[in-house]
Structure 1
């Protein structure tokens, strides 16, 4: 089973909905050709209405490596020495020895379906598997990008495709390692890949394409400038300052910290999304906030890898913009990422409700930040308003965790009090893609994923 075709006209009704102006009851959302054509509030349900529950605008997952979904749980045995990001990376590189286009597409489809089930309606896929397992280019340089687009189309998720430029193993243009052979490209090949990605996503409606220098250690300053010329007004994403070793190596190379170097040498602006930015000085995060860029936080992956904790509370209170992503996809869910984000700040600061403004709901603050930051970082608009894409997540108002709740209390209960099962239905551009908590094509997607793992884990 595949997601239902986008109906020409659709009428949805919800007990309550979070609109740009705030919470409303008895909300009818009329959808035409995938966009919201009319909104009514304080109205009763009519026989032709579908929907139900509590409607939220869809949120973008601003950082994913979908293929890593198949690794979840396989890197948790402690090695003979201290384990950290770098030992995990060596395991990940070995994992890349297996898996061709069919397997990658199947794994990606499961990850995308689970994102929709978890409350995300768009994904920024940070795509760097450009070559085959031997490191040789595919006959079609966009082979894997095509498979990612196919997985997005099959599941119905909105796609912001971020082909990654990766040329070096360390600062100063060091030669790549054998483990990085599937990532490597050059500027001419990358420019052609970006053009191919724009062409192949043209039929996906509201798909977007950005550019993604993998990290400062993977590009030279000259290459970074060439990449930025390819971006136009599209998104620019980069890993930065995730690890203390990265900061130390950058200081040794340039005399500056990674974010410090970017702010001084690149036109960092609202198009940019700095992924992780974990290890930053106050002058750096204040500089990012002043530029209007988004910091892309991946709290579950950052915890899993032992990266550290970005000073999100201080950054938010300085009007910094954030969004959340699932990165390695060890677990997938919007509420899970937001909960981990807040709890990590509480542990670091030894306080409660540290992200929220005085008198404000923590859940609402986190949701609003993820909604706006995710939309900015993926190059789309957001919210339940006339003219907007009909990306709607409906929470199950009959779920025991929401009993007696309304408004912001629903968000607080979903993020901090509800076990799995809070999401009932999801519409993406007017297509019903999740029903009763399950992706409508989950059985077929799971079957293909299981077959893929036989090859990948053989």
Structure 2
């Protein structure tokens, strides 16, 4: 048994003092004991939080960060960015995917994410052929997670069409092509890897890229406890296309045709009307919000306050990885709402919780854990032993109950000092334990890819 004594720790029911956290060899909390005395020889920390879940990631896109911020000849949008991303994706080899993923996951861990959900759609070789191992690229990303020490939910993507009306895939989408049979083959191939640090679900890419028949076929063969993620209503053009082809808006079409429940994560859901928002909240599904990517791509703003007033659940993701900080995602989430509504403290919709930082962090923990399908997001027995130790010496770290407000809304320094993931210390003194080797491999990968593209 290993242990840490926290002077202050955020437990499921709030802040507690003098908490002894103990975890077993399987990397799960065996006991969490508040109001106790520090045993002799046990490491101590001042401020301890549960690690955050990153519920939406396309890990290979980390290599694109900073390379798409050049204006084109006409108005730039999500769709012009997507064309650049497609061209980039054609060149990446499986071993390069692993190197990029490992670097991304190191950065996520250093900033406070201890779990990630990988929405993985680059399944095929550059020529469009399947690899001999249908799960080749998914395994590579999982290997990147193992090297970094982060927990992962792998979500192989169903990607059959280029648009509504079963439009055939374009040539530059050839690496993404997958039907229900291929996705289920990947799920089956990854079954032996499932455990405390790895879960496997599925992800119909979107209503424009997967037909209802395909989604139904996939879900009918999937174990009923596995997570299901989908992109939806990210862009206004997507909403218009859905209305043109189905007569209904995306969320309404989804809810009218499929049994959406707590195992679903609806990623973005940016453009929703009141009825769709109510259906999303009532279903218990998680809204997967990615504010820094949504801002980078010019997507728009999710209507957070009315969703929370209806009891809706949300989590956060770094998506294209223009940021790898949960603090920045949550700050952007709140600040976007403030700018849109010209008011402050938007997320504090309940009278019994007025501290915005607490509302955001705790809601994102719960929603992220649900979307990941793993027992994470809480300092509690039987949960995976994930935690963050904040730098008690930093002036922006205040004692509870103001700690989370200061953590999220003060300055830009990274206040995460140490990180435990799956019962292993992966970050110490702000440095990842495998950072030099992983960073060197990533730098070489970037150099190789840029040479290939030049």
* CA shift for structure 1 position 149: 1.2
Residue 242 of structure 1, aligned match among 229, 234, 240:
234
* CA shift for structure 1 position 91: 0.6
Contact 1:294 1:321 in 2 (8 A): yes
Q: 1:51 & 1:336 partners in 2: Cα distance? A: 28
Partner of residue 302, structure 1: 294
Residue 17 of structure 1, aligned match among 1, 5, 9:
9
Q: 2:372 & 2:28 partners in 1: Cα distance? A: 18
Partner of residue 228, structure 1: 219
Contact 1:98 1:455 in 2 (8 A): no
Classify the secondary structure of the residue corresponding to 1:151: helix
Q: 1:35 & 1:185 partners in 2: Cα distance? A: 35
**2:448 counterpart of 1:443:** no
Classify the secondary structure of the residue corresponding to 1:380: coil
Q: 1:92 & 1:388 partners in 2: Cα distance? A: 37
Residue 56 of structure 2, aligned match among 57, 63, 84:
63
**2:205 counterpart of 1:214:** yes
* CA shift for structure 1 position 193: 1.4
**2:262 counterpart of 1:270:** yes
**2:180 counterpart of 1:187:** yes
* CA shift for structure 1 position 14: 1.7
Q: After the TM superposition, which of the residue ranges 85-94 and 132-141 deviates more from structure 2?
A: 132-141
Q: 1:151 & 1:230 partners in 2: Cα distance? A: 28
Residue 381 of structure 2, aligned match among 367, 386, 405:
386
Q: After the TM superposition, which of the residue ranges 34-43 and 152-161 deviates more from structure 2?
A: 34-43
Q: 1:125 & 1:154 partners in 2: Cα distance? A: 15
Partner of residue 31, structure 1: 23
Partner of residue 345, structure 1: 337
Question: Number of matched residues?
Answer: 446
* CA shift for structure 1 position 205: 3.2
Q: 2:159 & 2:395 partners in 1: Cα distance? A: 48
Contact 1:27 1:40 in 2 (8 A): yes
Structure 2 CA distance for partners of 1:112 and 1:230, relative to 1, 3 Å: farther
* Gaps in structure 2 of 5+ consecutive residues: none
Partner of residue 365, structure 1: 359
Classify the secondary structure of the residue corresponding to 1:63: strand
Deviations 1:370-399 (A, max 9, x none): 000001111123311122221111111111
Classify the secondary structure of the residue corresponding to 1:388: coil
Deviations 1:186-226 (A, max 9, x none): 22222211211223x23x53411111000000011111111
Q: 2:147 & 2:8 partners in 1: Cα distance? A: 30
Q: 2:208 & 2:300 partners in 1: Cα distance? A: 19
Classify the secondary structure of the residue corresponding to 2:402: helix
Q: 2:221 & 2:357 partners in 1: Cα distance? A: 37
**2:427 counterpart of 1:425:** no
Partner of residue 89, structure 1: 82
* CA shift for structure 1 position 408: 3.4
Q: After the TM superposition, which of the residue ranges 38-47 and 114-123 deviates more from structure 2?
A: 38-47
Q: After the TM superposition, which of the residue ranges 147-156 and 72-81 deviates more from structure 2?
A: 147-156
Q: 2:340 & 2:219 partners in 1: Cα distance? A: 35
Deviations 1:266-313 (A, max 9, x none): 001111100000000010010110111100000000000000001011
Q: 1:416 & 1:230 partners in 2: Cα distance? A: 45
Contact 1:426 1:434 in 2 (8 A): yes
Counterpart mapping for 1:8-157 below 5 A: 9-33=1-25, 34-157=27-150
Contact 2:196 2:384 in 1 (8 A): no
Q: After the TM superposition, which of the residue ranges 247-256 and 376-385 deviates more from structure 2?
A: 376-385
TM-score, structure 2 as length reference: 0.96
Contact 1:118 1:333 in 2 (8 A): yes
* CA shift for structure 1 position 418: 3.6
Contact 1:338 1:415 in 2 (8 A): yes
Q: 1:54 & 1:172 partners in 2: Cα distance? A: 53
Contact 2:7 2:44 in 1 (8 A): no
Q: 1:116 & 1:230 partners in 2: Cα distance? A: 34
* Gaps in structure 1 of 5+ consecutive residues: 1-8
Q: 1:457 & 1:50 partners in 2: Cα distance? A: 45
Q: After the TM superposition, which of the residue ranges 429-438 and 43-52 deviates more from structure 2?
A: 43-52
Q: 1:447 & 1:391 partners in 2: Cα distance? A: 26
Q: 1:67 & 1:408 partners in 2: Cα distance? A: 38
Q: 1:311 & 1:276 partners in 2: Cα distance? A: 11
Residue 169 of structure 1, aligned match among 162, 166, 179:
162
Classify the secondary structure of the residue corresponding to 1:401: coil
* CA shift for structure 1 position 98: 1.6
Contact 1:211 1:230 in 2 (8 A): no
Q: 2:443 & 2:114 partners in 1: Cα distance? A: 24
What is the root-mean-square deviation in Å for CA atoms of aligned residues?
Answer: 1.3
